């Protein structure tokens, strides 16, 4: 069996879907039988996008003679019927890990990470919303199996697209192997370099309306006067419609101890998680919510939104609040600051919870699905 995996996102995106594809491929490669192959295909990219690839005899790299933009134009916008096998050779299964699949003679699977473009369209870029609204239904009609990253998204796919439930399987993300709190001295050096002073609450994620920074800022404004020295640290790159959010952050920082540190390197994130009072993650909508798991792996308490995928991921190991109630978020933050026993319990339960999420487990579930799809 030869499995084709679209590796484009792994080479062009540091976080999000790029991380999912990299981690999945790395964990899949050692699981393949001697006669099986993992074909990582991608469009032609500049040398700066060379990126890491898993090693091993099972892995084959195939570069298409077109840029990723032209690949998308060819298969998703022009709907050219040219099969993937023209570039890769015969396949047993084709997996599109980024919402869409190319034409293929082999049975296919697709990963749907979220349906934000349908469920909360006001938080999706118009061009992306238009593209996914057209491309996702076509892919769902083409594939034999649909992978989602949470049960919430699984139910949304079934409900919105009327996909038979037996064709949709939820396979959660894992946590990067070895992710844990660094030694205290190392963590403090990282904080010093980034200009962060303890104690602080932490927000991690792209700065955009969907992440709900405005509620976090309002909650912190209710909390901060009672706790001199406590700050709010916001980490993440600016995203779509970030201007009003960034302006709110800058305005808050003129009267409150709010610090925006921008995008943070993967190597530095564990230090920020580990030394924080808690991660606050009050997002309006997520397909998964990887920072919740990362914080738990680093021994950090978590406060997140009630009812969504991050709460599903956290289980009983986090405090959950309505994302539209800053006073509820402020109250949860105050509880974590004041109640060391509660904070300790959340950390301990988080460590137990995160142990059930691994990329090896996710890879085994993907491989089982590939083999089932290949058998028909």
Give per-residue pLDDT as tens, 133-153. Answer: 999 999 999 999 999 999 999
Q: What pLDDT is recorded for position 48?
A: 60
| C-alpha to C-alpha distance for 247 and 259, rounded to whole angstroms | 13
Q: What pLDDT is recorded for position 240?
A: 85
Residue 71, pLDDT > 90, answer no
Within this chain, domains 2-174+358-375 and 184-354 share the same CATH topology: yes
DSSP 170-216: E----B-TT--PPPHHHHHHHHHHHT--SSEEEEES-BSGGG-HHHH
Residue in 54, 20, 96, 109 with CA at minimum distance from that of residue 370: 109
Q: How many C-beta neighbours within 10 Å does residue 374 have? A: 17
Mean pLDDT of 101-110: 96
Average pLDDT, rounded, for the chain? 95
So where are the chain's domains?
2-174+358-375, 184-354
Q: What pLDDT is recorded for position 79?
A: 81
Residue 50 pLDDT grade (very low, low, confident, very high; cuts 50, 70, 90): low
Determine if residue 172 is left, alpha or beta; phi over 0 gives left, psi from -120 to 50 gives alpha, anything else beta: beta
Residue 326, pLDDT > 70, answer yes
Q: Coil, helix or strand for 115?
A: coil
- Does domain 2-174+358-375 fall under CATH 3.30.160.150? My reply is no
Residue 173, pLDDT > 70, answer yes
Q: What share of the chain is helix, strand, coil (3-state, %, to 5)?
A: 50, 15, 35
> Residue with structure tokens 């023209």?
86
pTM of the model: 0.93
Task: Tell me phi and psi for residue 305, to 5 degrees.
Answer: -80, 145
Q: Which CATH entry fits the domain spanning 184-354: 3.40.605.10, 3.90.1150.10, 3.40.50.2000, 2.40.50.140?
A: 3.40.50.2000
Residue 157 structure tokens:
């796919």
Treating both helix axes as pointing N-terminal to C-terminal, what angle do 340-354 and 290-297 enclose, rounded to 10 degrees? 110
Mean pLDDT of 211-224: 98
- 284-314 pLDDT, tens digit per residue, is 999 999 999 999 999 999 999 998 999 999 9
Q: Coil, helix or strand for 50?
A: coil
Q: What pLDDT is recorded for position 56?
A: 87
Mean pLDDT of 351-355: 96
Mean pLDDT of 353-370: 97
Per-residue DSSP letter, 76: I
């Amino acid at each position: 069996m030869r499995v084709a995996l679209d590796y484009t996102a792994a080479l062009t995106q540091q976080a999000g879907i790029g991380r999912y594809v990299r981690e999945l491929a790395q964990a899949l490669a050692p699981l393949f039988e001697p006669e099986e192959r993992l074909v990582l295909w991608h469009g032609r990219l500049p040398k700066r996008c060379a990126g890491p690839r898993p090693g091993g005899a099972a892995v084959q790299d195939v570069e298409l003679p077109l840029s990723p933009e032209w690949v998308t134009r060819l298969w998703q916008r022009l709907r050219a019927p040219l099969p993937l096998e023209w570039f890769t050779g015969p396949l047993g299964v084709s997996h599109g890990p980024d919402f869409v699949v190319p034409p293929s003679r082999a049975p296919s699977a697709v990963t749907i990470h979220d349906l934000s473009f349908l469920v909360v369209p006001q938080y999706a870029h118009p061009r992306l919303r238009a593209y996914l609204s057209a491309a996702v239904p076509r892919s769902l009609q083409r594939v034999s199996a649909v992978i989602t990253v949470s049960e919430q998204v699984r139910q949304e796919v079934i409900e919105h697209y009327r996909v038979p439930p037996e064709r949709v399987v939820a396979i959660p993300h894992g946590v990067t192997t070895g992710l844990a709190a660094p030694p205290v001295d190392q963590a403090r050096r990282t904080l010093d370099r980034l200009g962060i002073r303890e104690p602080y609450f932490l927000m991690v994620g792209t700065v955009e309306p969907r992440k709900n920074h405005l509620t976090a800022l309002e909650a912190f404004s209710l909390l901060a006067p009672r706790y001199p020295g406590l700050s709010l640290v916001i980490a993440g790159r600016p995203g779509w419609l970030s201007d009003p959010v960034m302006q709110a952050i800058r305005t808050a920082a003129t009267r409150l101890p709010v610090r925006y540190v921008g995008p943070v390197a993967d190597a530095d994130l564990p230090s920020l998680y580990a030394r924080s009072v808690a991660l606050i993650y009050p997002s309006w909508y997520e397909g998964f919510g990887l920072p919740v798991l990362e914080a738990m792996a680093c021994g950090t308490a978590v406060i997140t939104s009630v009812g969504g995928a991050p709460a599903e991921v956290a289980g009983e190991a986090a405090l959950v609040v309505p994302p539209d109630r800053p006073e509820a978020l402020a109250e949860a933050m105050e509880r974590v600051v004041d109640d060391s026993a509660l904070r300790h319990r959340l950390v301990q339960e988080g460590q137990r919870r995160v142990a059930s999420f691994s990329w090896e487990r996710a890879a085994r579930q993907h491989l089982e699905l590939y083999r089932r799809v290949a058998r028909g």
